[in-house]
């Protein structure tokens, strides 16, 4: 254990010299259990104990994170943990700057977390949480963590179109994502089976197009007030919501809601099956672009972050010439409303704008067209379906999910390097990773959790941790160490036989 710690420090710490005191076994375990693995850790002698007198101090810009931390610690310990202005026992400091990194120091007298900005402080708080035991005594081993993310885009996608999930269910998932330093929640808001966001200028999209789900299950949609609540909740966890309206395919719910959107003026029936690639917006009709201008304007106004996702995948019912014209025109509409485009990687077959990001979902690491776009400046977010899709089955017996991209055990989800994955893509083009959860077979929060845990933490680590920390044996132990927390939180995780779960 000690040797591994020293080795990890030397590998990842560059020039700094790490002195390892004589940590207890528990201290070593706590710091090697941090997931995603930090850039560097140093275990020291001693421990800080949270008790009924412990205070939290928030420097300027740290109030929100301090309130969040106090809420968590009050809930688990039952202590008052007041937030004080002057010096406190757990001190949170924002120093100014743009890094998402943080420094965490634990001594027997104090805990300090400092970061250039609040997002980094929040990441440091997630690390501190993992150092606090699941049960009393609330003793945090002394040590130092210096950390910063490898990639800026560390995403999870939830498909609320195939099945609808309530605000409370989405917020529950947001809290689970935040623990693993995910900073983007991509919501797949519309597909053939349902339209899930009220668009005031086209209300039937939600009231009619949102009334169905796969298999005849109940539909639903978010009012704009509810959607704002999700966005604000995510923001309070330093997660940016990226809304997706998939187009020009995956649009049956919209076509069913408004006959004029169809080339023949006839609305198709609502759809509750699971086929893909059969619907298309009418690329040649001007009403299509008035419709999209309205939808994108309303969505842009609801969106705090820079990106709107316009889908663009599996447009098998749209000719390639129409697809190119359509994607180029819609990129312009998004830009006119002050946002940037995220789209599935087929967008590279049109003309991606300099600010457009392509989300790669194919199952091969060799895609010359995407690599060429990346070499030309298109940023790429990696979601290879055979590695990062959370709706793939773990093994043939998995009761939920699909297997068209293969079976994805934990070792598959963890066993690749986003930085070198896509043959021919310059490393700077890779903006990060995203773990999509499509929900054709997913109906409850317990289902979401079964598919996301433990693979989501694997993808989260690939997004956050330096390549030098990638190590399957160590990752297995880090993951196993999370199980008591998941049990305490009621997370319905898949007990993969690959992981040495504690009893
Ligand atoms: C492919 S890959 C889809 C989704 C399905 C998913 C099921 C991609 C961008 N689209 O429409 O829900 O497979 O695994």
User: Do 141 and 186 share a structural domain?
Assistant: no
Distance from Cα 309 to the centre of ligand 1, integer Å: 15
Point out the residues that are catalytic.
314
Would you say residue 267 lies in a domain?
Answer: yes
How far is CA 211 from its chain centroid? 27
Distance from Cα 385 to the centre of ligand 1, integer Å: 9
Q: Whose CA is nearest to atom 8 of ligand 1?
A: 313
Q: Check which CATH number belongs to the domain holding 383 and give it.
A: 3.20.20.80
Closest-lying ligand 1 atom to the alpha carbon of residue 159: 12
Q: Which residues of the chain have pLDDT under 50?
A: 1-22
Distance from Cα 471 to the centre of ligand 1, integer Å: 30
Probe target for ligand 1 pocket from 385, 435, 436, 437, with the most ligand atoms within 8 Å of CB: 385
Q: Are the beta carbons of 334 and 340 closer than 8 angstroms?
A: yes
Q: How far apart are CA 442 and CA 481, in angstroms?
A: 27
Residue 468: DSSP 8-state = G
| Ligand 1 within 6 A of CB of 314 | yes
Q: Whose CA is nearest to atom 13 of ligand 1?
A: 438
Closest-lying ligand 1 atom to the alpha carbon of residue 439: 12
Q: Check which CATH number belongs to the domain holding 127 and give it.
A: 3.30.379.10
Closest-lying ligand 1 atom to the alpha carbon of residue 438: 12
What integer pLDDT is reported at residue 29 of this predicted model?
82
Domain that holds residue 436: 153-467
Would you say residue 483 lies in a domain?
Answer: no
Would you say residue 295 lies in a domain?
Answer: yes
Probe target for ligand 1 pocket from 160, 187, 314, 362, with the most ligand atoms within 8 Å of CB: 314
| Ligand 1 within 6 A of CB of 344 | yes
Of 114, 147, 180, which residue sits at a domain end? 147
What integer pLDDT is reported at residue 138 of this predicted model?
97
Of 111, 130, 147, which residue sits at a domain end? 147
- Beta strands 90-94 and 56-58, pairing class: parallel
- The total of structural domains in the chain comes to 2
Q: Whose CA is nearest to atom 9 of ligand 1?
A: 313
What integer pLDDT is reported at residue 199 of this predicted model?
99
Q: Which long-range contacts (CB under 8 A, 24 or more apart) does 110-119 make?
A: 110/48, 111/48, 111/140, 117/61, 118/61, 118/62, 118/64, 118/65, 118/94, 118/238, 119/183, 119/238
Q: Whose CA is nearest to atom 4 of ligand 1?
A: 438
Site of tokens 């420090």: 9
Distance from Cα 438 to the centre of ligand 1, integer Å: 7
Q: Are the beta carbons of 255 and 262 closer than 8 angstroms?
A: yes
- Beta strands 83-84 and 40-49, pairing class: unpaired
User: Do 130 and 17 share a structural domain?
Assistant: yes
Q: Whose CA is nearest to atom 12 of ligand 1?
A: 438
Distance from Cα 357 to the centre of ligand 1, integer Å: 18
Q: How far apart are CA 437 and CA 448, in angstroms?
A: 8
User: Do 248 and 109 share a structural domain?
Assistant: no
Distance from Cα 492 to the centre of ligand 1, integer Å: 24
Would you say residue 489 lies in a domain?
Answer: no
Distance from Cα 152 to the centre of ligand 1, integer Å: 24
- Burial label for 308, CB within 10 Å (0-12, 13-18, 19+), is buried
| Ligand 1 within 6 A of CB of 278 | no
| Ligand 1 within 6 A of CB of 361 | yes
135 token code pair: 């049960």
| Ligand 1 within 6 A of CB of 391 | yes
Would you say residue 472 lies in a domain?
Answer: no
User: Do 131 and 66 share a structural domain?
Assistant: yes
Distance from Cα 314 to the centre of ligand 1, integer Å: 8
Question: Residue 314: which of 285, 346, 283, 286 has the closest Cα?
Answer: 346
Whole-model pTM: value is: 0.95
Would you say residue 69 lies in a domain?
Answer: yes
What integer pLDDT is reported at residue 9 of this predicted model?
35
What is the largest distance, in Å, between two alpha-carbon atoms of the chain?
Answer: 76
User: Do 159 and 95 share a structural domain?
Assistant: no
Closest-lying ligand 1 atom to the alpha carbon of residue 361: 2
User: Do 175 and 139 share a structural domain?
Assistant: no
Q: Are the beta carbons of 389 and 340 closer than 8 angstroms?
A: no
User: Do 158 and 143 share a structural domain?
Assistant: no
Q: Whose CA is nearest to atom 11 of ligand 1?
A: 276
Would you say residue 461 lies in a domain?
Answer: yes
Q: Whose CA is nearest to atom 6 of ligand 1?
A: 438
Question: Residue 343: which of 310, 383, 308 has the closest Cα?
Answer: 310
| Ligand 1 within 6 A of CB of 217 | no
Would you say residue 422 lies in a domain?
Answer: yes
Probe target for ligand 1 pocket from 194, 274, 276, 390, with the most ligand atoms within 8 Å of CB: 276
Q: Whose CA is nearest to atom 7 of ligand 1?
A: 438
Phi/psi class of residue 245: alpha, beta or left (left: φ > 0; alpha: ψ in -120 to 50)? beta
Closest-lying ligand 1 atom to the alpha carbon of residue 162: 12
């Amino acid at each position: 254990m000690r040797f591994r710690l020293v080795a990890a420090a030397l590998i990842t710490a560059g020039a700094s010299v790490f002195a390892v005191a004589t940590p207890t076994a528990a201290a070593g375990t706590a710091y090697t259990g941090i997931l995603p693995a930090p850039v560097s850790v140093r275990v020291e002698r001693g421990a800080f104990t949270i008790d009924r007198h412990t205070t939290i101090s928030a420097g300027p810009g740290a109030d929100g994170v301090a309130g969040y931390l106090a809420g968590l610690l009050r809930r688990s310990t039952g202590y008052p943990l007041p937030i004080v202005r002057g010096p406190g026992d757990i001190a949170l400091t924002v120093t100014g700057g743009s890094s998402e990194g943080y420094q965490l120091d634990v001594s027997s007298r104090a805990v300090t977390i400092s970061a250039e900005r609040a997002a980094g402080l929040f990441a440091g708080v997630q690390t501190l949480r993992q150092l606090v035991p699941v049960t009393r005594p609330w003793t945090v081993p002394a040590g130092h963590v210096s950390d910063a993310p490898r990639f800026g885009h560390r995403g999870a996608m939830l498909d609320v179109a195939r099945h609808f999930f309530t605000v409370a269910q989405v917020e529950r998932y947001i809290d689970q994502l935040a623990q693993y330093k995910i900073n983007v929640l991509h919501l797949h808001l519309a597909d053939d089976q349902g339209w899930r966001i009220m668009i005031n200028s086209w209300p039937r999209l939600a009231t009619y197009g949102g009334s169905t789900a796969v298999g005849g299950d109940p539909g639903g949609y978010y009012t704009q007030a509810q959607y704002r609540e999700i966005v604000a909740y995510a923001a309070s966890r330093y997660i940016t919501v990226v809304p997706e309206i998939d187009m020009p395919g995956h649009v049956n719910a919209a076509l069913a809601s408004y006959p004029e959107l169809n080339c023949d003026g006839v609305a198709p029936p609502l759809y509750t099956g699971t086929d893909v690639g059969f619907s298309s917006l009418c690329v040649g009709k001007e009403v299509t672009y008035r419709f999209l201008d309205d939808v994108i304007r309303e969505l842009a106004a609801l969106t705090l972050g820079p990106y709107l996702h316009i889908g663009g995948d599996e447009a098998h019912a749209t000719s390639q010439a129409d697809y190119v014209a359509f994607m180029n025109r819609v990129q312009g509409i998004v830009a006119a409303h002050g946002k940037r485009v995220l789209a599935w990687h087929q967008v590279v077959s049109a003309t991606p704008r300099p600010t457009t990001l392509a989300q790669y979902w194919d199952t091969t690491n060799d895609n010359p067209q995407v690599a060429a776009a990346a070499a030309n400046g298109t940023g790429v977010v990696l979601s290879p379906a055979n590695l990062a899709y959370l709706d793939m089955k773990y093994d043939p017996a998995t009761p939920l999910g699909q297997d068209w991209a293969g079976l994805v055990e934990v070792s598959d989800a963890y066993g690749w390097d986003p930085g070198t994955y896509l043959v021919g893509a310059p490393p700077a083009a890779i903006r990060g990773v995203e773990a999509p959860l499509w929900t054709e077979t997913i109906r409850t929060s317990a289902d979401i959790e079964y598919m996301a845990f433990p693979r989501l933490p694997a993808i989260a680590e690939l997004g956050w941790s330096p390549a030098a920390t990638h190590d399957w044996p160590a990752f297995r132990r880090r993951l196993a160490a999370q199980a008591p927390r998941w049990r305490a939180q009621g997370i319905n995780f898949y007990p993969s036989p690959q992981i040495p779960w504690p009893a």
